[in-house]
Amino acid sequence: MKNLLFTIMVLIVFSCKAQSPIIQLGDYSTELVNNSYWKDVNNEINKFEGTWKYEEGNAEFIIALTKNEQYYNGSYFEDRIIGDYKYVENGILVADYLSRLTDSSVNDAQHYISGNFIVSKNHVPRCQECSSNERRFELFFTDPDRRYLSSEIILRYFIENGVEKIKVWLYDSDSAVLPYEGAPTEIRVPYGTYIMTKQ
């Protein structure tokens, strides 16, 4: 009996220790200790999954997004959006990385769109049309030819006339020391706002 009790106690202790704290995405006040899980508890990411297309004149901007669950960043686990994109300008293909999203040789950290920051309507760039409690996602956006330039996108999901759409704010997000004289100061996809329709 004594041994049984001891065994149960040990199991309880170990089972308690093995549990990692789950913290809801968008909760920034709880410390993300090592091996915790920043989880998309309410599945807010799911509606952004899919391929989204912007088209105007000779410009075409397509992004493909998917949910990346329990990605380990070296400290803790997290649910994220990952994706890749294609951009055509004046009928000329500028960048096409869409196939990378399903390429098994590309690991989860190597996609050109990634992130999981949930931001409010007033987080800049602000969203005038957003409802007061609407949550958007802020993600890193990488131009692999100009990695020294930090860029981000903010995504807002909405339905217009029964059609699923996202609004994308693409902007330069951080400082940079240019790596050589005359280095471009902008990524190849123009900064700006894009309304994209789900494909």
User: Among 103, 176, 192, 199, which residue sits at the site for another protein (rule: CB under 8 A)?
Assistant: 176
Q: Which of residues 72-131 bind another protein (CB under 8 A)?
A: 72-76, 107-110, 114-115, 117, 119-126
Q: Are residues 111 and 100 in contact, defined by beta-carbon separation less than 8 angstroms?
A: yes
Q: Are residues 98 and 86 in contact, defined by beta-carbon separation less than 8 angstroms?
A: yes
178 binds another protein (CB under 8 A): yes
In the complex with another protein, the residue whose CB is nearer, 6 or 28, is: 28
Contacts by 131-139, CB closer than 8 A, 24 or more apart? 135/26, 135/44, 137/44, 137/45, 137/48, 137/81, 139/81, 139/83, 139/113, 139/114, 139/115
28 binds another protein (CB under 8 A): yes
For residue 18, the minimal CB distance to another protein (Å) is: 19
For residue 9, the minimal CB distance to another protein (Å) is: 30
In the complex with another protein, the residue whose CB is nearer, 134 or 164, is: 134
d(CA 57, CA 195): 14
174 binds another protein (CB under 8 A): yes
For residue 63, the minimal CB distance to another protein (Å) is: 17
d(CA 63, CA 45): 15
Q: Which of residues 132-171 bind another protein (CB under 8 A)?
A: 140, 142, 144, 147, 149-150, 171
Q: How many CA atoms lie within 13 Å of 111's alpha carbon, on the beta-carbon side? A: 28
Three-state DSSP class for 184?
coil
Interface ranges with another protein (CB under 8 A) = 28-29, 32-34, 72-76, 107-110, 114-115, 117, 119-126, 140, 142, 144, 147, 149-150, 171-181, 183, 185-186, 191
